[in-house]
Chains A and B, each alone.
Chain A
Amino acid sequence: MRALETVLLAKGYVDPAALDLIVETYETKIGPRCGAQVVAKAWVDPAYRQRLLADGTAAVAELSFSGRQGEHLKVVENTGQVHNLVVCTLCSCYPWPVLGLPPVWYKSAPYRSRAVIDPRGVLADFGVTLPRDKTIRVWDSTAEMRYLVLPQRPAGTEGWSEERLAELVTRDSMIGTGLPHPAGAGA
């Protein structure tokens, strides 16, 4: 890695200050707290929820989230009947502008191989058990659409502010491998 960077810098192909800013952006600015804001807003604002489900890219842009690996964002909603799970079996496609860079497990062979054939087994690895009759809908990100799960709002959060609700939204709940924290675990 060091040899590659040394040669690329020596040959003038890359700007070292630009490299540092790319790292800084994904380490400190773009991450799952962005997606949590989107989810919390959808929970309190029915009109926003509708816009989000109709055109994810435009709706997250309202909160100033946009860009690389989120150019075509689709938001899929969990309901009492359907639980959504997102995977990229072919590589590591992931909605960067709202979730940041994918975790190691998302890019790993165990997750990519099993999510489409044994999603309940995968969920068990995350400690999640769902009713047998609930539909598990798995989205394989084989094209340029990037998927974000809108989890169900936890019970007992009536009247909560967006900021407080956002604290219940975990990264995994927006991939579908987890559920939001229950109200009792909130701030």
Chain B
Amino acid sequence: MNGPQDLGGMMGFGPVCPEVDEPVFHAEWEKRALALTLACAALGEWNLDMGRHARESLPPAVYLSVSYYEIWTRALANMLAERGMVTPDELEEARMLVPAVPTKKPKADRSQVAAALAKGSPYDRAVDQPARFALGERIVTKVIHPSTHTRLPRYARGKTGEIVAVHGAFVFPDSHAHGLGEQPHWCYGVKFSGRELWGADADASLEVIVDCWEPYLQDRAA
């Protein structure tokens, strides 16, 4: 979706402000936001792509005005509410009002945390069909504007680039975010020149590499 998350190339946000000796967390609640987001995801009620879609579905004015941990927290509350796991009334009153609903996976206890974090969740998958494109080929990306989740940023749509990596086949976020299955597709690193993306005034020394699933690529460039 053309949501507030798709920031590449936007202007007017001001300079980047690095913080000297930045702490890992700036407040106690940020620690809880991280831990609850990870622990709730482990219940199996949504996947990584659904989580991302919940964040980018926040109203743009909200998304752009709150901190990243608040984006996480608001999206988490929305996902819990959509599944009847935690109701808005419960959040309002800060207490349990309706029974817990069964979840696909049991809650992770402390003894499982280290192994789960060290293992992660690989997203590559075996597929039968061969990769359609090869290293060095020039391709054009599709012009698409789905109202649903996609990982092809606006600035890289309808652009000509070169395949510089064939990463393997990966879970396809455009379907996975909407409960339509993993539908793995080949994923490529595609290199674009700054001038292809931003026009003749762009920095001639700029290259941008965008990882693109095969359905994002229209065809070989002429």
| A residues whose Cβ falls under 8 Å from a Cβ of B | 1-8, 10-15, 17-23, 25-27, 30-31, 66-72, 74, 89-92, 97, 100-101, 103-105, 107-120, 122, 125-126, 132-145, 172, 177
Contacts and interface: CB of A to CB of B under 8 A. Distances in A.
20 contacts: A5-B32, A5-B36, A6-B95, A8-B40, A11-B100, A15-B39, A18-B112, A22-B113, A25-B117, A30-B117, A72-B123, A90-B7, A90-B151, A105-B17, A109-B10, A109-B64, A114-B11, A114-B13, A143-B211, A177-B16
B122 interface: yes
Interface in B104-163: 107-110, 112-114, 116-124, 151-153, 155-156
A54 to B, nearest CB: 12
A8 B36 contact: yes
B207 A138 contact: yes
Contacts of A10: 95-96
Given A7-B94, A18-B107, 19 more contacts: A13-B40, A13-B103, A18-B39, A18-B109, A21-B110, A27-B25, A90-B52, A100-B24, A104-B68, A105-B19, A112-B7, A113-B10, A113-B11, A114-B13, A120-B203, A125-B16, A137-B208, A139-B209, A143-B187
- Which interface residue of B67, B77, B187, B208 has the most chain A CB atoms within 10 A? B208
A111 B16 contact: yes
Contacts of A103: 18-19, 22
Interface of B: 5-11, 13-19, 22, 24-26, 29, 31-36, 38-40, 43, 52, 55-56, 64, 67-68, 73, 76-77, 80, 85-86, 90-96, 99-100, 103, 107-110, 112-114, 116-124, 151-153, 155-156, 165, 167, 170-171, 173, 187, 189, 194, 197-198, 202-203, 205-213
Contacts of B109: 15, 17-18
Contacts of B165: 74
Nearest to B152: A142
A110 B24 contact: no
A7 B95 contact: yes
A13 B107 contact: yes
A22 to B, nearest CB: 4
Given A14-B39, A27-B24, A72-B123, A2 B94 contact: yes
B183 to A, nearest CB: 14
A97 B120 CA distance: 10
Nearest to B5: A90
A143 B7 contact: no
B94 A143 contact: no
Contacts of B152: 142
Contacts of A20: 35, 110
Nearest to A82: B207
A179 B35 CA distance: 32
B185 to A, nearest CB: 10
Contacts of B73: 1, 4
Contacts of B122: 71-72
A118 to B, nearest CB: 8
B110 A17 contact: yes
A19 B68 contact: no
B123 A144 contact: yes
B120 A113 contact: no
Contacts of A74: 165
A139 B52 CA distance: 19
B110 A6 contact: no
A26 B68 contact: no
A34 B76 CA distance: 29
